[in-house]
Chains A and B, each alone.
Chain A
């Protein structure tokens, strides 16, 4: 693993995400839009947090800032005890590659690569040798119930299966945080439920947290906490029973 002088290995049980007073806006002048208006949020290891709210409330902006893809305008956001905004762009990219996994609404599997190659991408980006990356990808595919199909192409899979491949890709490099953007919106209820069950069973671990952006009420029951967002602010956070 590559470590730079600025990036430290965080304590295992420290909060995974701590955001304080987070603000973010787009545009300028009359067209300026305040996407985040002072977000305070924390996510603990082993927790599944859902961000819910109407379209345009800032959910995607918030997870983009948390994942280090976007810079905030104000406030702080610490990942594993470190202020990512202080990193250089290169350090931030490498930090993200090693510590965060992503699951997208549209699966985003490369259609011309086998599913094993798709799953191996985070490892390859981090510099893992190809044969080792494919071996780990194959193992991860078995964990999501797709063992034996590593040479198949994404187009040969159903929507639910493709999302399972995407989950395998998000977990293959053992990240500390998994960020999911509407992972079940493109799936029917039954399939979406199965995907969520798999995600929770595999992704939530003692040293890992899961943040899911969704407005699919059918899966609210799987959350440990639900943060309701509206107009760039967290209105309330509800702990699920």
Chain B
């Protein structure tokens, strides 16, 4: 009889497609929106994830997130080095500068000034050139997205795509000459500005107006030391905010949640997707059951138990749920895959997100099945004797 249930469902093509489409659409909204949100949030702390060596970040206590920057004196680096349990500590400068392109246009870029000696804080993957070349005079490394887009050379021929920056090209940063010695792969920042890596001292040269240049002190706990304990000691000794990697990521996330409408806006769309999906699926599935109510009555008269009928309805609901979710997840995956080829935000669909959305779809179809099943289970088989 379960095969009969599936045949009845597939035989009503209009309602079947309607239910599947409703679930697919709900699935798309419930997967894609959280995916965008999670990806954007990961860009919030992209600086922290890209710089993986240090396990403690030291900063001005007023700093609210990794996108924030309040400069410290150079001497703070030495104070942090002097704290018990610190294996090493290096400065990191993070600032924003105007970059003049070859055609005279200005673009804003994020400048990361790395410790001259160790180059800690540099990009994890250098696609062209080498990180060590940053020690050359006027040397900078540009992130791949910035090199292909906002910092690319505009073509002289109208309508032609911009010419990506390559090793050997020159830029003008705050009226100072910079030579591209490498192209790096980096996670985009929240604001998607190009990222230009240079050494800490060259960064000072590009930014002559600020006296304080240290944005963060990157520190490593000695082997055997708990980074949280070391961070507490740094705070106590220096009065600065010292956070482990996870703590700093969480602080950056909390700032985003509290001071932007991201969570509410995306969450609202997800809730709408769920509610609309439930309403559409429930309504069409209920109509499908009503259309077939007479036949369920016939089955009852012929000896079908309530358990059998409930099983049939559940099977129908689970089948459309599986197919609808599969289509929705598949389309969203294709969309996410398409974002990986360009330089826009690259969506990631993790297993927890798919599992969560799948659970939501399961809830939708179970609600639809429950509403329909109530009608069938209460049905008096004697109704089949009415014409």
* Contacting residues, chain A, for B359 (C-beta < 8 A): none
Is B3 a contact partner of A125 (Cβ separation < 8 A)?
no
Is A96 a contact partner of B303 (Cβ separation < 8 A)?
yes
Q: Say yes or no for B334: interface residue by CB 8 A criterion.
A: no
| Contact (A93, B305) CB under 8 Å given A108-B298, A111-B11, A124-B1 | yes
> Which segment of A64-72, A144-152, A187-195 sits at the interface?
A64-72
Is A64 a contact partner of B8 (Cβ separation < 8 A)?
no
| Cβ-neighbour of A69 out of B10, B11, B294, B382 (below 8 A) | B382
A178, chain B: closest CB distance, angstroms: 12
Is A125 a contact partner of B308 (Cβ separation < 8 A)?
yes
| A179-219 CB contacts (< 8 Å) to partner B | 181-182, 185-186
Is B303 a contact partner of A110 (Cβ separation < 8 A)?
no
* Contacting residues, chain B, for A112 (C-beta < 8 A): 7-8, 10-12
* Contacting residues, chain A, for B295 (C-beta < 8 A): 108, 110
When each residue 16-29 of chain B gets 1 if its CB lies under 8 Å from chain A and 0 otherwise, what string results?
00000000000000
Q: Say yes or no for A82: interface residue by CB 8 A criterion.
A: no
**CA A111 – CA B1 in complex, angstroms?**
16
When each residue 101-125 of chain A gets 1 if its CB lies under 8 Å from chain B and 0 otherwise, what string results?
0101110101111000100011011
* Contacting residues, chain A, for B382 (C-beta < 8 A): 60, 64, 69-70
| Contact (A108, B384) CB under 8 Å given A67-B301, A113-B4, A125-B308 | yes
A interface residues, tally (CB under 8 Å): 32
**CA A70 – CA B308 in complex, angstroms?**
20
Is A93 a contact partner of B12 (Cβ separation < 8 A)?
no
Q: Say yes or no for B127: interface residue by CB 8 A criterion.
A: no
When each residue 364-387 of chain B gets 1 if its CB lies under 8 Å from chain A and 0 otherwise, what string results?
000000000000000011101111
Residue of A nearest to B296 (CB): A110
* Contacting residues, chain B, for A78 (C-beta < 8 A): none
B5, chain A: closest CB distance, angstroms: 10
Is A64 a contact partner of B385 (Cβ separation < 8 A)?
yes
Is B4 a contact partner of A69 (Cβ separation < 8 A)?
no
* Contacting residues, chain A, for B304 (C-beta < 8 A): 93, 97, 125
When each residue 78-111 of chain A gets 1 if its CB lies under 8 Å from chain B and 0 otherwise, what string results?
0000000000001001101110001011101011
Q: Say yes or no for B299: interface residue by CB 8 A criterion.
A: yes
Q: Say yes or no for B264: interface residue by CB 8 A criterion.
A: no
| Contact (A98, B11) CB under 8 Å given A64-B382, A104-B385 | no
Q: Say yes or no for A126: interface residue by CB 8 A criterion.
A: yes
Q: Say yes or no for B157: interface residue by CB 8 A criterion.
A: no
Most chain B beta-carbon neighbours within 10 Å: one of A60, A112, A186? A112
| B284-336 CB contacts (< 8 Å) to partner A | 292, 294-295, 298-305, 308
Is A102 a contact partner of B387 (Cβ separation < 8 A)?
no
B306, chain A: closest CB distance, angstroms: 8
* Contacting residues, chain B, for A121 (C-beta < 8 A): 1, 4, 298-299, 302
**CA A102 – CA B4 in complex, angstroms?**
19
Is B302 a contact partner of A113 (Cβ separation < 8 A)?
no
Q: Say yes or no for A7: interface residue by CB 8 A criterion.
A: no
* Contacting residues, chain A, for B8 (C-beta < 8 A): 110, 112-113
| Contact (A97, B298) CB under 8 Å given A111-B11, A113-B4 | no
| A21-75 CB contacts (< 8 Å) to partner B | 60, 63-64, 67, 69-70
B189, chain A: closest CB distance, angstroms: 56
* Contacting residues, chain A, for B1 (C-beta < 8 A): 121, 124-125
| Contact (A125, B7) CB under 8 Å given A104-B298, A105-B387 | no
List 17 interface pairs A-B (beta carbons < 8 Å), by A numbering: A69-B382, A94-B303, A96-B302, A96-B303, A97-B303, A104-B384, A106-B387, A108-B298, A108-B384, A110-B8, A112-B7, A113-B4, A113-B7, A113-B11, A121-B4, A125-B303, A182-B387
Q: A104-B384, A186-B387 are in contact. List 9 more A-B contacts (CB 8 A).
A: A60-B386, A67-B301, A90-B305, A94-B303, A108-B298, A110-B292, A113-B7, A122-B302, A124-B1
What 6 A-B pairs are tightest by C-beta distance, nearest first?
A97-B303, A112-B11, A64-B382, A60-B385, A108-B298, A181-B385
